[in-house]
Chain A
Amino acid sequence: MSEVVLELDGVVKRFADNEVLRGVSLKLHRHEVACLIGASGSGKSTLLRCANLLETIDGGSISLFGQPLGDRRIDPDLVRRHMGMVFQSFNLFPHLSVIDNILLGPVYALKRKRADAYDEALALLDRIGLRDRADEYPERLSGGQQQRVAIVRSLAMQPSLLLLDEVTSALDPTLVGEVLDLLTDLAHNGTTMLIATHEMNFARDVAQQIVFLEKGVLVEQGAPDQVFNHPREEATRKFLERVR
């Protein structure tokens, strides 16, 4: 198997007395897509935020390309430049135009020349069919368009992997398709992704690995066919029955 990009080993996260992640371990290889499934409150968002160092962990370890992120010499800003993150609520910057949203990272985090990054940003917009909306402000776009812009905003950093947190959950059902299509397209092009999602059909189609979380415990993980069709654990079976 190819190189391990992200590895979680026995990760524990607490908020006060509430243990939200209870020793979660998983590996994500280059070009692999893993889908995190589980009920609301099971810890999916927390896991993604811990991976991106937006939260500090209370136990276990996380490493990126074999480098432990708990090491004091690690620069969190450098780590985050290699991990794109897309949120449920898009979080586009409302005071910046679409193109400036995409350019913010390359220009101010990577210190690239605006003119150099500009053409790449336009090409990314072209890819999602929004090139002609480059100079508009996010509020003028539909939810689906905003979320696609948010996805290419992370791609503009040329990250090694993408973390996606229920990116279609805030969308009108008619707009879910266009976002999932973009993600499917990315998956086919070999983008490494860790995706928290409630879209089971999508997960089955794109993922090589399904990870089921319940109350912060990694209950079951495996290939889609195994987890969806022959779940080993009673909890997994119950969860899948409920979401179907």
Chain B
Amino acid sequence: MKLKTDVDSSDATPNLFAPRRRRLFVGKRGIAASSLSTAIVFGLIVSVLFVTPGGATVRYAFFNPHEMWVAWIGNPRIGLLAIRDGIFTNVWMFLVSEVLVLALGISIAWIRFSQSPVFVPFRLLATLYTDILRGVPTLLVVMIVGYGLPTLNFGFLSHQSPAVYGVIALTLNYSAYVSEVIRAGIFSVPHGQLLAARSLGLTQTSTMRRVILPQAIRTVIPPLLNDFISLQKDTALVSILGAIEVTRAAQIFSATVFNESGLTVAALFFLALTIPMTRYTDRLMARDRARRLAGS
């Protein structure tokens, strides 16, 4: 009986050339093809603004260079806030939140890993905390904190600016996500690392601090940066509390002069903030992948 796996017994030389249609796009022709297809796709997208019935109106309302400039620099004569003056608020809100989120996220992850019986109530609390805060929309957390804390009428906690409540809300919300990311990172460290550290006589705490966490953090930097990008955008939600940040300034602008170009400016601001970070995150992930491939 002749099996399928038998060596081909015919003497014909096999053909190794790709079929004609797949040969079209190799070498220089490939570059030309990719440029052409890019131009067509982007052209089609932009052309929506020119061929649709409302295209001209949208172009005027959202992409009016003059109005965009006015929205950016503001106009004190008619009481218009400048979007550029809101930037500082967004930036300090996310910078402070990010530091707090990292600290709280690591602490929660740590508590959830701790073995000590004394920690049982804290472990329960930490689990409850992450479950709840990951489940509630960020906008709601912002409103609950922003309206709730002042109503408490409890000392300095109740007399803060909207931006401070924003920072508190974002920190609460995002540290729940970040603690999960860090936990996943901790799980990704091979068990042998723990065994090796403990067999050297390192305590649970030293093992975590010197061996597990440094490796965990390294692997979670890309997802962590993703969460931070998302946090930076969510500083816009604090506008609901009346904090004068970029989004709020843009909103005021459009409501006053009946032109939405301010919103475009606000969007550009967030893009200027996040695109370098998304690119950087992508690069990190590519480098990580390359290193893993080289390692195996």
Contact = CB atoms under 8 A, between A and B. Distances in A.
Contacts of B201: 77-81, 105, 109-110, 157
Given A54-B199, A139-B295, A87 B192 contact: yes
Nearest to A101: B196
A139 B229 CA distance: 32
B200 A154 contact: yes
A54 B195 contact: yes
Q: Is chain B's binding surface mostly helix, strand, loop or mixed?
A: helix
B231 to A, nearest CB: 27
A85 interface: yes
Contacts, number: 65
A242 interface: no
Interface stretch (B22-30, B33-41, B210-218, B249-257): B210-218
A72 interface: no
Given A94-B215, A95-B214, A52 B199 contact: yes
A67 interface: no
Contacts of B206: 108-109
B266 to A, nearest CB: 41
Given A154-B200, A157-B200, A87 B211 contact: no
A80 B197 CA distance: 10
Contact of A91 (B196, B203, B214): B196
A153 B64 CA distance: 68
Contacts of A139: 295
B196 A93 contact: yes
B208 to A, nearest CB: 11
Contacts of A85: 195-196, 199
B57 interface: no
Interface of A: 49, 52, 54, 77-81, 83-85, 87, 89, 91-95, 104-105, 108-110, 139, 150, 153-154, 157
